[in-house]
Structure 1
Amino acid sequence: MKTEINGDDLLAIGYTEGRVLGEALKAAAALPDITREELLALLTKVKQYPENFLDDEHMESLATALIEELNKPVDTTIALIEEKREYAVYGADYIEEGAGKQMAIAMQLPVTVAGALMPDAHQGYGLPIGGVLATRNAIIPYGVGVDIGCRMALSVFDIPAEHFYENEAIYKRELIAHTKFGAGHGFHGRYKADHAVLDRSEFNITPFVKNLQDKAASQLGSSGGGNHFVEWGIIEFEQRDEVLNIEKGKYLALLSHSGSRGLGATIAGYYTRLAKDICRLPKEAANLAYLDMASEAGQEYWLAMNLAGDYASACHEVIHNKLTAAVGARVLAKVENHHNFAWKEQWHGEEVIVHRKGATPAGKDVMGIIPGSMTAPGFLVRGKGNEDAINSASHGAGRQLSRTKAIQQISQQDMKAVLKEHGVTLIGAGLDEAPMAYKDIHKVMAAQHDLVDVVARFEPKMVRMADDGSKED
């Protein structure tokens, strides 16, 4: 039976009159196999996180229209390099065509020095997710992405695996009590956290950034929607790790994935629009508009980006500190890495700006975390420093089903069965984040054998994510 919604329904969930409303109605008309409640929840999610739907065959046009409404096209004045420039590709069999096309365009920028595509890559907005791009004296806001400084954080505790299994109710209670998820969500009054990052001088670089300080304060220690999570799991070291000083064995661990919340998203939108006004590129490359690092705008963005990255780190620190105290644990080791960021690095003897949009830093001996899905293992890794990959690796497994396909093809019963099979407790999340929607993490890891060494394996056991707004059948 066809699900019917109208323009008033869309206006009620935050859409506005114009092209976007028309695209939303067209997208809704093409999805007859889900309930009205699921459809409105899905369209709400597209509006909140349009970048997540750019590789979705039903929602791509709507997602593009939403993003372009914030980033208006500009006149062409800067020519692209016509010659074809090669870039390294890892796991080519797992990468969709759209991501390759976007990477090829990025390689034509006059400021580009080198590029690489990771095995979890898929189409994004501007630079593909899983794309790594080194530039000369230039920073690309959409080469960093909307969720600036999005990162993984892992705490390994002095608690044996058996203790978790014997006390799951306690761990579930504390996970719910000390985490908060979803777009716009934060803390108020006595529940607000404090951190030195809120007193950073970079909040004073411009009135625009200063106006974001209160929002940052309220959202400190919270997580976004989409694929962001906080989870308990069991990490296994098959041999002693001398660097981390951890003995062989299985330990309780806490793993989190989220970014800079409204602070980062607002900074990204503002400086992308500014870059497009300053750097006018052909239509196919317009979303790769860059700022000269020697310019005032470039320096402003660099400072704001680093502030957002440190704020994202502070959010993880607050979450991990709360849960560590709540369960009375001692931290044996903590590892953290971010993606959706840009770094000043040396590459073939030259200082470059390395953009990793959905890619993990993997320089020589650099530690990182590469998650799978809510039922697939994640991996604690140590970088090999592969220069062809611009010292990078994947930031996860990557999707094999688009979000609408996942909602259409995967039932609640299917998802529950997979969770039960793997002994995973799930709090929140929708069918679009079902384990079956993701690529095989083992194949992805095999494709980057030359990029990282595996140090330990993490098995998720209790996962909290944002509620998708719909109810189970």
Structure 2
Amino acid sequence: MRIDRQAIAHPAPGTAQRGEPREIILPNRAAPNLLSWASDIEAGAIEQAARAARLPFVAGHVALMPDAHVGIGATVGSVIPAKGAIIPAAVAVDIGLVATETTLTAADLPENLAAPMPLMEKQIPAGVGQGHDDPTVDQALNELNRPHTDLSSEQEKTISCQFGALGSGNHFAEVCLDEHDRVWTVLHSGSRGIGNQLATLCLPISRPAPTSEDRGSCSSNVGEKILAPRLAPLEKF
């Protein structure tokens, strides 16, 4: 995966004739305090992210990734830098994505990744419940500090079974380059249902109470209230 700041060709809806693409420079300033790396994005996602960019606790600009689309309160595929606030709606329900910059550059990589990929597959167990033949996996789990949230026996079982594995479905690990040819590793291990459970627990704590005007309304104001946090004490989370 490469995200470039260079111009790319993409037809602008309603403006370009067939066979006549319009150049779009990425990232582009889609709205005040909003940068977009998406070359094809629905207007509703831009509008929703622009509302988030206007919130008073946003520090810096809101960023839209190439796959950004409308979500519940927060735009899926957006990055919202918040200062002094925790926004469960922005964390969303599917957590477990990590991107890490390495000290390598494109020149350090082989022409073909067919050789190193099997090594990654060997080191990163894939599939539900895999990897526990290595005793250090369970040892690492036991050494972790326990979460502040009380866990049910079923949640404890899920953690014990799935800790240390990539998981299944759309989970992946990859090696990619940025616009400066620096090497990054990207890992998406998912939240295995825990993310959804945490969101269900935290959203009522952070969400301002609905007014009579909000009930039954689908206005943009409701979306902002879902996103905007009530600044509850951090220990609540």
TM (norm. structure 1) is 0.32
- The match for 1:287 among 217, 226, 232 is 226
Q: Partner of 1:104: helix, strand, or coil?
A: helix
- 1-structure distance, mates of 2:112, 2:64: 37
Counterpart of 1:146? 93
Counterpart of 2:121? 175
Question: How far is the alpha carbon of 1:113 from its aligned partner?
Answer: 5.7
What amino acid sits opposite 2:75 in the alignment? P
- The match for 1:215 among 142, 158, 161 is 158
Question: How far is the alpha carbon of 1:219 from its aligned partner?
Answer: 1.1
* Gap change, CA 1:208 and 1:272, over 3 Å in 2: farther
Counterpart of 2:42? 96
- 1-structure distance, mates of 2:223, 2:184: 41
Find out whether 1:201 has 2:145 as its counterpart: yes
Q: Partner of 2:166: helix, strand, or coil?
A: coil
Residues 124, 165 of structure 2: 8 Å contact kept: no
Within-5 A mapping of 1:385-400: none
- 1-structure distance, mates of 2:112, 2:35: 43
What amino acid sits opposite 2:62 in the alignment? A
- 2-structure distance, mates of 1:138, 1:163: 44
Normalized per residue, the structure richer in helix is 1
* Gap change, CA 1:229 and 1:119, over 3 Å in 2: closer
- 2-structure distance, mates of 1:292, 1:130: 24
* Gap change, CA 1:108 and 1:173, over 3 Å in 2: closer
Residues 34, 50 of structure 2: 8 Å contact kept: no
What amino acid sits opposite 1:89 in the alignment? L
* Gap change, CA 1:161 and 1:220, over 3 Å in 2: same
- 2-structure distance, mates of 1:103, 1:176: 40
Residues 124, 166 of structure 2: 8 Å contact kept: no
Question: How far is the alpha carbon of 1:94 from its aligned partner?
Answer: 3.5
Find out whether 1:117 has 2:63 as its counterpart: yes
The alignment's C-alpha RMSD in Å is 4.4
* Gap change, CA 1:161 and 1:119, over 3 Å in 2: closer
Counterpart of 1:299? 235
Identity of aligned residues (%): 22
Counterpart of 1:257? 187
- 1-structure distance, mates of 2:228, 2:235: 15
Where does the alignment leave 5 or more consecutive residues of structure 1 unmatched? Answer: 1-84, 242-252, 302-473
Q: Partner of 1:194: helix, strand, or coil?
A: helix
Residues 279, 290 of structure 1: 8 Å contact kept: no
Question: How far is the alpha carbon of 1:218 from its aligned partner?
Answer: 1.7
Question: How far is the alpha carbon of 1:275 from its aligned partner?
Answer: 3.0
TM (norm. structure 2) is 0.57
What amino acid sits opposite 1:199 in the alignment? E
Question: How far is the alpha carbon of 1:140 from its aligned partner?
Answer: 1.0
Residues 57, 84 of structure 2: 8 Å contact kept: yes
Counterpart of 2:9? none
Residues 153, 256 of structure 1: 8 Å contact kept: yes
Residues 150, 257 of structure 1: 8 Å contact kept: yes
Question: How far is the alpha carbon of 1:141 from its aligned partner?
Answer: 0.5
